[in-house]
Structure formats: C-alpha cells, structure tokens
Amino acid sequence: MPITHPTPLAPRLLRLPAVLDQTGMRRSLLYEEMAKGRFPTPVKLSQRAIAWPSDEIDAWIAARIEARDTAEVTP
C-alpha cells in the first residue's frame, strides 16, 4: 500500500468577525496593532471588503504563544 501524505490546506481568507473571534481581540485593538505594524495587514477583496490570509493569522498567533513561552523561560 503506498504511503500518502496529507495535502496541505491552502490558506483561506478570513473576514473581520472571524479574525476577531480567532484572536480574541477587539476591533479597535486590531486596527491599532495594524497601524503599529504588529499585526498582518488585510487583503483588499473589493472597494469595501477586506480579509486576512488565514496562514498569516495563524503565524501571528503562534508567534504570540512563542513569545509567551520564551518570556516564561527567561528569568
């Protein structure tokens, strides 16, 4: 039987409510962090619609967890 490898999922585009839910942030804080360059910027879908690549949001969350874990180890 041949070995199969799972196909990596393509990044999805997440709209604002999904990003807020996934990060636990308020809308105002999200835009504040974007303005400071500490949060991924969205992709423009149309004149009035934006979304964030899911892989960038996942990476941002992972970086926050890593920063927390590193801070806990450092005296």
CA distance 13 to 59: 14
Residue 34: inside a domain: yes
Inform me whether the pLDDT recorded for 5 exceeds 80.
Answer: no
Residue 20: inside a domain: yes
Give the pLDDT confidence of 19-74 residue by residue, as tens digits.
Answer: 999 999 999 999 999 999 999 999 999 999 999 999 999 999 999 999 998 876 65
Residue 35: inside a domain: yes
Sign of the CA dihedral with 35 first, then 69, 22, and 28 last: negative
Q: What is the pLDDT of residue 57?
A: 98
Other CB atoms within a 10 A radius of the CB of residue 20 amount to: 15
The residue with greater pLDDT, 2 or 22, is: 22
What is the Rg, in whole angstroms, of the alpha carbon atoms belonging to the chain?
16
Q: Which residues of 44-61 are buried (b: 16+ CB within 10 A; e: fewer)?
A: eeeeeeebbbbebbeebe
pTM: 0.80
**pLDDT interval class at 8 (50, 70, 90):** low
Q: Which domain holds residue 61?
A: 13-73
The total domain count for the chain is 1
